[in-house]
């Protein structure tokens, strides 16, 4: 089976990027979300990617028509009716994901491969809730997918190799560089390296050791990195690290303090780069100023 029809479940920052990239590279894409408000928000995000693609790709002129060729639905039944592949990019909540996979299993065609884009969970945590564990796997993308074009592909012990192969080929077809993991790993490769950095930076912040700009400057000067951890958090969006910190708060007091601090920013509308403000103000964040590192 060749993958042609792709449904993206969840139109948040990364879900909308996966949808846009997949449609831009010629696949039939349906974006599903739970209500019209969520769909409208996804369309706003999708529109914001057009100039990025026009500037980044030699054939970026195609980007202007991508949204017109996509389908949108608040009905999971309709959204997956002819799907060859469904990629889940919904909130990082076990309860929400379990409910979603149980419903998806009841409505998806037999041919459909299920994939999660979860940043923190592994497929085996949800395999018992799908009706086709052999076709269930993970494909994880990095933010700003058009330029940070890695796709980490990971099965669970019950995933059949031929479906991993199909998703590896799909990743190539949407201009990603696929990285196939040999075994399950929370955080895959990228986040296993990145999350400890972001956690350490947030702890320095909430413990009053240094402010976000100082922490970012230290990291950028010492490593030559183009961004510091708080700039990265802005790109990710603060809702994801907030949810992760909240999940750890019962057993980790520092995580609880991080969750409180992030919640205050989120409640103030400072949710990251996509909203125009997080730890920095956009579209011209201070860390891009030539004098920032002086």
Position 97 scores a pLDDT of 97
Give the SS3 label for residue 40: helix
pTM of the predicted protein model: 0.83
Per residue in 198-253, pLDDT tens?
999 999 999 999 999 999 999 999 999 999 999 999 998 999 899 889 988 989 99
> What are the Cα distances from residue 206, in Å, to 168, 171, 191, 271, 285?
40, 38, 21, 17, 21
Please give the helix or strand (H or E) that residue 248 lies within, else none. Answer: helix 239-248
Instruction: Assess whether pLDDT exceeds 70 at residue 1.
Output: no
**Position of tokens 């700039």?**
231
Say which residues have a Cβ less than 8 Å from residue 155's Cβ, sequence separation at least 6.
123, 137, 138, 161, 163, 164, 184
Read off the pLDDT of each residue in 262-273 and give the average, rounded to a whole number.
Answer: 97
Position 143 scores a pLDDT of 87
Say which residues have a Cβ less than 8 Å from residue 139's Cβ, sequence separation at least 6.
87, 115, 116, 117, 151, 152, 153, 154, 167, 170, 171
Give the SS3 label for residue 73: strand
Tell me the average pLDDT of the chain.
96
Per residue in 61-120, pLDDT tens?
999 999 999 999 999 999 999 999 999 999 989 999 999 999 999 999 999 999 999 988
Position 83 scores a pLDDT of 98
Per residue in 30-59, pLDDT tens?
999 999 999 999 999 999 999 999 999 999
Exposed/middle/buried for residue 37 (C-beta within 10 Å: 0-12, 13-18, 19+)? exposed
CA gap 1, 113 in Å, rounded? 10
């Amino acid at each position: 089976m060749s993958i042609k029809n792709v449904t993206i479940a969840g139109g948040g920052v990364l879900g909308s990027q996966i949808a846009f990239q997949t449609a831009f590279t010629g696949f039939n894409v349906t974006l599903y979300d739970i209500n019209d408000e969520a769909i409208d928000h996804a369309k706003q995000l999708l529109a914001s990617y057009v100039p990025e693609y026009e500037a980044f790709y030699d054939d970026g002129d195609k980007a202007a028509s991508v949204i017109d060729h996509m389908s949108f639905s608040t009905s999971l039944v309709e959204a997956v009716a002819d799907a060859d592949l469904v990629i889940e990019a919904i909130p990082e909540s076990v309860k929400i994901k379990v409910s979603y996979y149980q419903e998806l299993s009841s409505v998806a065609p037999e041919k459909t491969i299920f994939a999660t884009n979860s940043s923190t969970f592994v497929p085996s945590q949800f395999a018992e809730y799908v009706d086709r564990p052999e076709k269930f796997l993970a494909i994880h993308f990095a933010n700003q997918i058009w330029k940070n074009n890695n796709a980490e592909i990971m099965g669970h012990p019950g995933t059949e190799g031929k479906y991993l192969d199909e998703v590896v080929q799909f990743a190539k077809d949407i201009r990603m560089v696929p990285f196939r993991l040999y075994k399950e790993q929370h955080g895959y490769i990228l986040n296993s390296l990145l999350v400890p950095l972001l956690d350490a930076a947030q702890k320095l912040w909430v413990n009053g050791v240094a402010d976000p700009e100082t922490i970012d400057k230290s990291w950028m000067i010492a490593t030559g990195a183009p961004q510091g951890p708080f700039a990265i958090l802005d790109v990710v969006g603060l809702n994801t690290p907030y949810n992760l910190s909240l999940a750890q708060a019962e057993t980790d007091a520092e995580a609880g303090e991080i969750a409180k601090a992030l919640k205050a920013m989120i409640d103030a509308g400072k949710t990251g780069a996509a909203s125009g403000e997080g730890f920095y103000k956009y579209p011209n964040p201070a860390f891009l100023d030539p004098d920032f590192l002086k």
